[in-house]
């Protein structure tokens, strides 16, 4: 996008909503993140998963439809690959001291 022409090679931060991810049993490309299922909360039509990234131990929370959960047969300790389906990227480092005002 033209408005980001000056942002080349600049630091930034990306955000992905918990429901904007796809889980697969094998890597689906460069944007796939390998993780291990740490905890499963399967109540109702949406299954909440807590995952640990294998690369650095960081945490990922994912919300997937029960139909996808049933198809993957996910269980605690299982390896899975996480791919974002929608990402929001913001230029510059995160402002940790920022406060939200109404």
Domains of the chain as residue ranges with CATH? 12-90 (2.40.50.100)
Q: How far is CA 98 from CA 17, 87, 95, in A?
A: 20, 21, 6
Q: What is the mean pLDDT of residues 12-30?
A: 88
Give the percent of the chain with pLDDT over 90: 61
Structural tokens at position 70: 């049933």
Q: Does position 1 have pLDDT exceeding 70, yes or no?
A: no
pTM to 2 decimal places: 0.75
Mean pLDDT of the chain, nearest integer: 85
């Amino acid at each position: 996008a033209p408005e980001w022409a000056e942002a080349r090679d600049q630091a930034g931060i990306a955000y992905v909503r918990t429901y904007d991810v796809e889980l697969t049993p094998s890597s689906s490309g460069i944007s796939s993140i390998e993780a291990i299922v740490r905890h499963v909360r399967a109540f109702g039509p949406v299954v909440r998963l807590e995952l640990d990234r294998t690369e650095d131990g960081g945490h990922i929370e994912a919300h997937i439809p029960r139909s996808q959960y049933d198809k993957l047969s996910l269980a605690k300790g299982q390896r899975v690959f996480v791919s974002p389906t929608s990402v929001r990227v913001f230029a510059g480092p995160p402002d940790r001291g920022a406060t939200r005002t109404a």
